[in-house]
Amino acid sequence: MDSIVQHFRKEEQPFIETAFGWVREVEDTYAPKLTGFLDPREQFIVETIVNNAGLSYDAYGGFLKPERERLLIYPDYYEPETDDYQVALFSINYPAKFVTLEHRDILGSLMSLGIDRSKFGDIRLQDDIAQFAVVDELKDYLAANFNSIGKSKVRIEQLDSSVALIDSMESWTEELYTISSLRLDAVVAAIMNSPRQKAVTLVQNDKVKVNHTVRNQPAFELNELDSLSVRGAGRFKILSIEGRTRKDKIRVLIGVLE
């Protein structure tokens, strides 16, 4: 475990220990283990641990190209099926003529019901259509209790396979950057093509999020599959670390949301 932990952040250790627990459960019971919905960074951590243990895994989030997915960890004899992931998909019916919904509105309303973020996956919006994924065990609870977003009354309806799902409208381009370090201020300065001090100011003024959490420490170290959002500049992903140059600079492949 120590050899793996050293490659991740100290603050990620509780999640790493949880992931090790999942792996040990599969090894002890020789049966599959299903996780909640994980973000890309959490998926990367679990995948690293599972690969090191010699087990198998697969992921499913309900939508095409989902960001948040449930991982199924299983021994080599097992062949997973879609039903194993226990994902339910819902649409939200709301007065679209009078109300404009945003991702944060739906997210906030779901969490106000006391639901942990790991219990639901992607939230997708297109025109006046809204859809989201949730663990199957909560579908009846949501049907009975998820009836408002802000001041607007809503009604949810579980989707079947005949309903068209909202495709991801996000389009990413890949750009290779050469930077001095993986410090947050250095990466922000590079992707914004701005002076380092301006990046420091943005970070210290709570203008930068890493994995959806505000980070105001310029020295915060980034890693593979971290997502970034810089207020006024857009969203980015650390896709891979490509190695070092002869001058010991770091090559980083970064996804940029168009």
Two tokens, residue 236: 């980015």
Residues 156-180 have a mean pLDDT of 88
Round the average pLDDT of the chain to a whole number and report it.
92
pLDDT band at 193; cut points 50, 70, 90: very high
What gap in Å lies between CA 227 and CA 250, rounded to an integer? Answer: 18
Per-residue pLDDT, averaged over 171-181, amounts to 91
Q: Residue 183's closest CA among 201, 198, 196? A: 196
The pLDDT > 70 percentage for the chain reads 97
Per-residue H/E/C for 146-158: CCEECCEECEEEE
At which residue do the structure tokens 């650390």 appear?
Answer: 238
**1 pLDDT more than 60:** no
Nearest to 176 by CA among 255, 252, 258, 256: 252
Rounded Cα distance between 170 and 67, Å, is: 11
User: 41-91, pLDDT tens digit by residue?
Assistant: 899 999 999 999 999 999 999 999 899 999 999 999 999 999 999 999 999
Separation CA 132–CA 222 (nearest Å): 29
Q: Which of 128-142, 165-179, 187-201, 208-222 has the lowest mean pLDDT?
A: 165-179
Which residue ranges form the domains of the chain, and what is each CATH number? Answer: 2-84 (3.30.1370.160), 87-158 (3.30.70.330), 172-257 (3.10.290.10)
Question: Residue 19: how many CB atoms within 10 A of its CB?
Answer: 23
Structure tokens at 178: 């050469």
Contact 125, 103 (CB under 8 A): yes
Question: Which pTM does this prediction carry?
Answer: 0.81
